[in-house]
Structure 1
Amino acid sequence: MATLAPPNTRIADLNDRCRMGLDRTARIVATRDCLATIAKGDRNMDMIIAQARVLKAVRDYRFAPDERSERDFGSLELDGETIFFKIDYYDAAMEFGSEDPADASITTRVLTIMLARDY
């Protein structure tokens, strides 16, 4: 008989999938201020490169091995700026909070990336 992972562990695994870009239903947003600060320029190409660099930094982020959290929040440094990322849980219609974030079939994850000063 298979045993189910504790909800906290299941949520952490789903959040990792979201951060890695493997959750097709997730939404990933970065604040304009975050991208503009990292871009160091105002051309579209500067913003695209900044977005790629920020996403890579979030995907490369490693939580402490003994951390037992849902891994829904992190803080990292990029180009001398402190960047926060946060994952929130919504229902499939994105109207209300999810009743069970451990159930991927009823939860839409939203990963928001921002500068620490914007939090």
Structure 2
Amino acid sequence: METITTAEKIARLNDQLRQGDTKIGEIRITRTVKALPHEQQQKLLQLVKDFNSFEAGNDPYGERDFLTIKLGGETYFAKIDYFDKQAWLENREVGSNFPEDPDQTWRIATLMKSDEYLVPSLSSQLLSEEKLRQSVVLQSLLSLAILDTLMPVS
């Protein structure tokens, strides 16, 4: 019997979202990406959907929650964050403690230009893993304040 790690469960769910499964989350784009021509937006979304070059250097936790893609000489990031599903349904943004459980977690994948990404401060390196995860969620919430919802890629 195959034992699946928590990280692999999370990774598989993240893959599902990138493939367009809107039962477990949604894909959002920043206004900068939304301002691109429609064809370029579609190319970016297809690159996110097709991305499979995860390795230790760009996916240290094995969750497949962050990727870098290039298009037209520009660099873009896609970042998946995890929110408590019930709180999300109540319009409250609370990080999920169980990202491996789709019944408890709502995923938000954000596609943005690389210069739009808010990186946690260097002081976060001194924080515990849980505090660091909360810090990253906080930074992502700040990014969410400038997002537009995008329909699923078909």
Q: TM-score, normalised by structure 2?
A: 0.64
C-alpha distance in 2 between matches for 1:11 and 1:23: 16
Percent of aligned pairs with the same residue?
Answer: 37
Preserved CA contact (<8 Å) 2:54 2:64: no
CA deviation after TM superposition for structure 1 residue 69, in Å? 1.4
Query: 8 Å contact 1:75–1:83 — kept in the other structure?
Result: yes
Q: Root-mean-square deviation (CA), in Å? A: 1.8
Gaps of 5+ in 2: 118-154
Which whole-Å CA distance do the structure 1 matches of 2:46 and 2:19 have between them? 9
What is the alpha-carbon distance in structure 2 between the residues aligned to residue 84 and residue 5 of structure 1? 27
Q: What does residue 88 of structure 1 align with?
A: 81
User: Does the alignment pair 1:59 with 2:39?
Assistant: no
Name the TM-score, length of structure 1 as normaliser: 0.81
- Residue type of the alignment partner of 2:14: N
TM-fit CA distance, 1:8? 0.4
Within 2, Cα distance between the matches of 1:3 and 1:65? 22
Distance in 2, matches of 1:71 and 1:58, equals 11
CA positional deviation for 1:49: 2.5
Look up the SS of the partner of 1:69 in the other structure.
coil
CA drift of 1:84 comes to 0.3
Q: What count of residue pairs does the alignment treat as equivalent?
A: 109
Partner of 1:31: 30
Gapped runs of 5+ residues in structure 1?
A: 40-45
Quote how far apart the aligned CAs of 1:60 are. Answer: 1.2
1:58-85 deviation line (CA, Å, top 9, x unaligned)? 1111124676610000001011110000
Amino acid at match of 1:63: S
Distance 2:84 2:3 in 1: 22
Name 1:7's counterpart in structure 2.
Answer: 6
Q: Deviations over 1:66-110 (max 9, x none)?
A: 766100000010111100000000011323111200001110000
